[in-house]
Amino acid sequence: MTFDWQRTSFDYWDELPPETKDSVLAAGAEDWSKVFSGVLTFNKSWRPLRPVMIHQDKYAELGRVMDRLLQLLLETGLRRASTAGELRKLLGTPDGLIEYLDDDEVLGDDLIQSGRPDILIAGGVPKFVEFNIGSEVGCVWDTEKVSGRFLELFERHGLDQLVAVQAPPSPVDGRYHAIIQTLGLRQGDRLTMVMRTDGEYPGNDDIPAIVRSLDPFVERGQALGIDMDVAPVHWLGADEDGRLHNQGRPVDAVFRLYVCTEMPQNPGQAALKAAVEAGESKVFTSSAGWLLANKIMLTWLWDDLDSLSLEDQELVRQHVPWSRLITAELLEHATERRAELVLKPADEYGGAGVLVGHECEPGAWREGLEEAIRRGDFLLQDYVRPDRLTMDFVNLETGERLQAEVPYSVGPYTFGRKAYGCFLRVGCHEQGEVLNLKRAVHVTGPLLVGSA
């Protein structure tokens, strides 16, 4: 039976009676600062006053589609390669670009135990525009906090009597369960969460504060029986026998919470690389997952469409925008279809290098296409116009209220092949349609709506 995505609005807010909406916004105006306290964002001016609300049935179906597409991406790679090295060469990824990569590693299900897709909703239907695959998927802690705090707001103000809501399953706990299962950890085993602090994410200039802010995360791991600690990668070292340690504390298993390319090279990074290569420290997840996240995989999925089952063909057509590697043969076609296409680098993240055709002047679009053809690692994708949601915001300084129609994206986490939480990016009314942190999007988490 085909799921009817359009039976109700994806944001269930549109289905609520006006008096319920007024009550929610009144509570949000009172408690928004509690909801978003400590949530890191580039947006210094506005905060949402309410949660995005998703019906439980849609959340469950979104998880089913997500998992099937994740499996199809893995199978797409396996049709072409059996090892990480074979796949790396086919993708054109330079040797040494991806840290800790073992070219001899056999591709398998362990590579898809952690991830998060980027999903736009168009006409009520989810469109998976890319897949982030690996342990480094971010904002898990922040989005869980926002969802939980919105739930507390509903309960505190009696709003749960007006609409039945709950927070999504905990992505923090879900990721821990996946780590424990994938690495085969037992009660009392040591696990070190390793992170980078060289990026532009807000707060990266105060490393001790970042480590302290993760104390609740560490406590959750300890509650599950794991001997946890946290270390920026440059805190790591090796003893005289080459064993990895964090300021003297042995490191047996590593939870990698950072992108594994363009790493700063320092003694800590060298010690970690040596421990991984020697097999002395297990890592969640293998950096070979970065290969599966390459957007060329989406073009291959479309290339292979006729070889899939009829059910899977329909799934791809409905939920994955048409994707093709840009070549000289496609230049004129892509020029003519500027308003219908997006140009993306195959191996970047965070919206870097993306050109949205209808936002470009014709000359700039063609120049972008020609440069992409010269580089050879860009793809064309059908433009997905994201549905807008009506969001109410409050100004941090003045308290001014604003209602605006803004784009948004949805990203449930997948840990251990199950859906947990959801990374919701709500667009800033002062920016365009590319939804990433540097464009001041609002990082939030949803509430799930069930039957009263």
In this structure, the answer to whether residues 148 and 25 fall within a common structural domain is yes
Q: 397: which DSSP letter?
A: T
Domain presence at residue 105: no
Same domain, 162 and 194: no
Domain's final residue, options 292, 320, 350: 292
**Domains of the chain: total:** 2
Which of 261, 277, 292 represents a domain boundary (last residue)? Answer: 292
Task: Identify the burial level of 40 via C-beta atoms within 10 angstroms of its C-beta, where 0-12 means exposed, 13-18 middle and 19 or more buried.
Answer: middle
Residue 79 sits in the same domain as residue 184: no
58 and 135 housed in the same domain: yes
Last residue of a domain, one of 259, 292, 325: 292
Report yes or no: 414 and 131 within 8 Å, Cβ to Cβ: no
The residue segments making up the domain with residue 236 are: 171-292
Does the residue 103 lie in any domain? Answer: no
Integer Cα distance of 222 and 233 in angstroms: 21
pLDDT score for 433: 57
Q: Which residues have C-beta within 8 Å of that of residue 253, sequence separation ≥ 6?
A: 179, 183, 185, 189, 190, 191, 192, 281, 282, 283, 284
Identify whether 140 is part of a domain: yes
Q: Which pLDDT belongs to residue 432? A: 57
* Residues 298 and 130 sit within 8 Å (Cβ to Cβ): yes
56 and 186 together in one domain: no
Residue 161 and residue 43 share a domain? yes
Whether the Cβ atoms of residue 70 and residue 414 lie closer than 8 Å to each other:
yes
- pLDDT of the residue at 213: 83
Given this model, what pLDDT does residue 452 score?
A: 47
pLDDT value for 81 = 98
Q: Alpha-carbon distance 239 to 227, whole Å? A: 20
Q: Roughly how many angstroms between the first and final C-alpha of the chain, as a whole number?
A: 25
Specify the pLDDT at position 204: 61
- Same domain? 144 vs 196: no
Mark whether 55 and 119 lie in a shared domain: yes
pLDDT by position in tens, the chain (length 452): 689 998 889 999 999 999 999 999 999 999 999 999 988 787 788 899 999 999 999 999 999 999 999 999 999 999 999 999 999 999 999 999 999 999 999 999 999 999 999 999 999 999 999 999 999 998 899 999 999 999 999 999 999 999 999 999 999 999 999 999 999 999 999 999 999 887 655 556 678 888 888 898 899 999 999 999 999 999 999 988 888 999 989 998 999 999 998 888 999 999 999 999 988 889 999 999 999 999 999 999 999 999 999 999 999 999 999 999 999 999 999 999 999 999 999 987 655 678 999 989 999 999 999 999 999 899 999 999 999 999 999 999 999 999 999 999 999 999 999 999 999 999 876 665 556 555 568 889 999 999 64
List Cβ neighbours of 15 (8 Å cut-off, separation of 6 or more).
8, 9
- Residue 308 included in any domain: no
Predicted confidence at residue 435, as pLDDT, reads 60
Classify residue 246: in a domain, yes or no: yes
**What are the φ/ψ torsions at residue 298 (nearest 5 degrees)?**
-70, -35
pLDDT at 252: 87
Q: Do residues 210 and 254 share a domain?
A: yes
